[in-house]
Amino acid sequence: MRLFVALEISGTVATTILDLISRLRATAARLAPQSRITWVTAERLHITIRFIGHVEESKADAVRTMLSEPLGERFDLTIAGVGTFPRTGGPRVIWAGLTAGRPRLMALETLVNDRLAVAGVPPEERPFNPHLTLARVRDAAGLRSPALVGPLNDLALGTTPVDAITLFESRLSPKGPTYVALQRTALRAGPST
């Protein structure tokens, strides 16, 4: 099983983000008609907290168990600004930024990693750089990051409540991955909730 832990995006914020993706798709097609870009669809819209990767069924069971109890407190996360990796030249990833609530997200990632370590999942080698992926660029074909996202650096996309994490299985196929929610774990109500 290929697993990851993520936050789901739904409601009006998801609609706003999908509208943005449509606009970016049209702009990319105009700027670089030969570019090959895989745009995120509604059913794949999420913020990855931790990619676990391929695990045996027994380890998947241990992960489910360790993530079954509530962890962390609920909070709001603001999605704003659009950027790319890398920032200049041809983009490989197009993303939306996370602003207000980002420190709480970083703390949640630490809690998730602590529980995954108990389940025998080794720590991530790269530092956590939270963002909302909008697209992956397979061939930029002349598309340049500043022309695509420059005017959108400060674009406000909305605030979403974070009240649960979801353990997903990513099932790969020639048509792309399908994300299957295996388990949702609630976050605890905070003092102001």
Catalytic residues: 46, 131
Q: Are 40 and 21 in contact (CB under 8 A)?
A: yes
DSSP calls for 142-177: T--HHHHHGGGTT-EEEEEEE-EEEEEEEE--TT--
**Separation of alpha carbons 171 and 1, rounded Å:** 8
Q: Are 116 and 52 in contact (CB under 8 A)?
A: yes
Nearest-5° Cα angle at 169, 44 to 114: 105
**Separation of alpha carbons 68 and 22, rounded Å:** 36
Length of the chain: 193
Q: Are 166 and 183 in contact (CB under 8 A)?
A: yes
